Structure 1
Amino acid sequence: MNVPRFPSAVIGLDPATPPERTAPRSSDTPALVDLPTRAAANNTALQWSLLRSRALRVGVPVALVVLWQLASSLKLVAPETLPPPTVILAALKELIADGELQNAIGVSLLRAATGLAIGGGIGLFAGLFAGLWRVGEEIVDAPLQMLRTIPFIALIPLFITWFGIGEGAKVAVILAATIFPMYLNTYAGVRGVDPKLLEAAKVFGLSSRQVALRIILPTALPSILVGVRYSSAVALLALVVAEQINAQNGIGYILVNANQNQRADIIIAGILVYAALGIATDLIMRALEHLALPWRPRFELA
């Protein structure tokens, strides 16, 4: 069989040139540049986003404190009305040196934790009872929906009548404030389970107990943790109110004495302590939520 032979000019090769040899690369040929991959670009964007977030979280409060100090130094604000940060810092050092602040923080946190444990526990079990069983919803939901419209501050005179002016009334105020956030988030989480998951459970023949433990509760866990986080913040808000009821110790006791002695610096220092406790509690709850939900994706629009 004859194979057609094409002229070497057609394919651009000299017949005398061996096929292994090719012309050397010209020095004018541009070198290849490795472009950044999508993963590297995303990593850089994530690092920049974290840096910007931390800078804003720290920079904005620091800027506000600096403006506050400048306004006090320039006599734009009367020191009797709003003491400068340096005076408030001195008041905090005074409270710490006496040991009064440390003891007050311990007492206040114990009150808040006791009320949160009891009220949050009641709200959790009520939410599960109403979410998992229809009869539970018929028994629990209507009374709690009615009671949650009553401000817990309005219940203080009633609690004083029931429990006196001791620790019982203070814990009862915190308890009443923390039940409803926990109940609502738990109930919404249980009832918000995807129906397709429940249908799949029926197809695989899971019992009601297995469905509750393996599908409903894990799916409702993010909402339950939101309820815990929200209830912990509400517990600190209720603590501020509760410690005004004839407090003999705690941060509220310090504020009452400072008000009687007209010490605005100690009053603001106590308010800042409440704020610091709130921030610390929220950070702890965020960490617990991150540990309990490692599978949940984290995303943002910008």
Structure 2
Amino acid sequence: MSSLRKLLRQSIVLIGFFVFWEMAPRLGLVDPAFLPPFTEVIGSLGQLVGSGELLQHFSASILRSLTGFSLALLVAIPLGLIIGWYPVARELLNPVLELFRNTAALALLPVFMLLLGIGETSKIAIVLFACAWPILLNTIAAVGNVDPLLIKSAKSMKLSSFKLFLKVILPASVPTIFTGIRMAGTGAILVLIAAEMVGAKEGLGYLITYSQYNFQIPKMYAGILAISLLGLLINYGLVSLERMLSKWNSPMNG
């Protein structure tokens, strides 16, 4: 019962937002042509689901984002661990990191499109670039911020460098690394949607742009809701994975 009350408290602002969305165009507070009632948007979303059109665009976007996101994990985590663990690597690569960490991914979208074309490769590449930096920087910070007492205690037990890294550094770094992973998961969707609005033939970004150009406004808002649901789904998956790995790495589990 208490969990139900907690859920209601957490949802009350969101419910109020949707009620206001429904009533504002009906009361003439906004033009219904530009902001249709929430129920019309939900109806349009249901039509997209029923026709299979939403699944087509949703699948295209999730495939692109997951591909770029997965590649970013494969590249950024090992590189971040190396840079964080070896001072020489950090010193050599720090100027490059400082240069690109302050470069917005969307600012480089025209460059990616010029070099890689307007097909799938450029879209996956821009997601890879956008996701790599928060993962990389948080991984470097995670390794650098491990409690020195833990390292000193491990060294007193005469652990080899490899075992020290595997049994102390890596488990202690997991929470901070996952902070970067969650940031990257959100960024993957935002950057991809922007990329799909240029030179794409399917995807949620294309659905929104196409609907806007054809003045199918309820359909446009339905696409925006679908993006929000996709973001929530990815965030929920990452949070669940973080809890599982954190539990697995806890001292009580050895």
Give the structure-1-normalised TM-score. Answer: 0.79
Q: Is the 8 A contact 2:64 2:123 kept in 1?
A: yes
Aligned to 2:66: 113
Q: 2:203 matched to 1:254? A: no
What is the letter of the counterpart of residue 8 of structure 2? A
Residue in structure 2 matched with residue 179 of structure 1 by the alignment: 132
Matched, 1:78 2:44: no
Q: Distance in 1 between matches of 2:5 and 2:172?
A: 33
2:179 pairs with one of 194, 206, 226: 226
**Residue among 49, 53, 56 paired with 2:9:** 56
1:278 alignment counterpart: 231
Residue in structure 2 matched with residue 24 of structure 1 by the alignment = none
Distance in 1, matches of 2:198 and 2:31, equals 31
Are residues 1:288 and 2:241 paired?
Answer: yes
Deviation at 1:141, TM superposition (A): 2.7
* Structure 1 unaligned spans of 5+: 1-46, 297-302
Does residue 152 of the first structure (1) align with residue 105 of the second (2)? yes
Q: Which residue of 2 aligns with 1:245?
A: 198
Deviation, structure 1 residue 153: 0.9
Q: Report the alpha carbon displacement of residue 240 of structure 1 after superposing the two structures with TM.
A: 1.1
The answer to whether the aligner puts 1:201 opposite 2:154 as a matched pair is yes
CA-to-partner distance for each residue in 1:101-122, whole Å, 9 max, x for gaps?
0111111000000111112322
Residue identity matched to 1:74: L
Following superposition, the deviation at residue 199 of structure 1 comes to 1.1
Equivalent-residue separation in structure 2 for 1:212 and 1:51 (angstroms): 43
Give yes or no for contact 1:120–1:179 (8 Å, CA) kept in 2: yes
Q: Secondary structure at the match of 1:235?
A: helix
Q: Which SS does the other structure have where 1:276 is aligned?
A: helix
Name whichever of 266-275 and 69-78 sits farther off: 69-78
Q: 1:99 aligns with which of 27, 48, 52?
A: 52
- Kindly provide the CA deviation profile for residues 182-228 of structure 1, in whole angstroms up to 9, marking residues without a partner as x: 01111111111111111111211111011000100011111111121
Distance (Å, rounded) in 2 between the aligned partners of 1:109 and 1:147: 26
Q: State the distance in 1 between where 2:182 and 2:173 align.
A: 15
Deviation at 1:51, TM superposition (A): 4.5
SS of residue paired to 1:102: helix
Q: Distance in 1 between matches of 2:117 and 2:21?
A: 42
Q: Secondary structure at the match of 1:165?
A: coil
> Which residue type is aligned with residue 184 of structure 1?
L
Q: Paired residue for 1:7?
A: none
In structure 2, C-alpha distance between the alignment counterparts of 1:125 and 1:292, rounded to whole Å: 17
Residues of 2 paired with 1:211 and 1:162: CA distance? 42
- For 1:10, the equivalent position in structure 2 comes to none
Which deviates more from structure 2 when the two are superposed, residues 182-191 or residues 56-65?
Answer: 56-65
Within 2, Cα distance between the matches of 1:245 and 1:175?
A: 18
Please tell me the root mean square deviation across aligned C-alpha atoms, in Å: 1.7
| 1:293 counterpart SS class | helix
Partner of 1:29: none
1:269 aligns with 2:222: yes
Question: Structure 2 unaligned runs (5+)?
Answer: none
The one of 68, 84, 88 equivalent to 2:41 is 88
Which structure has more relative contact order (CA 8 Å, sep 6+)? It is 2
Contact 1:171 1:242 in 2 (8 A): no
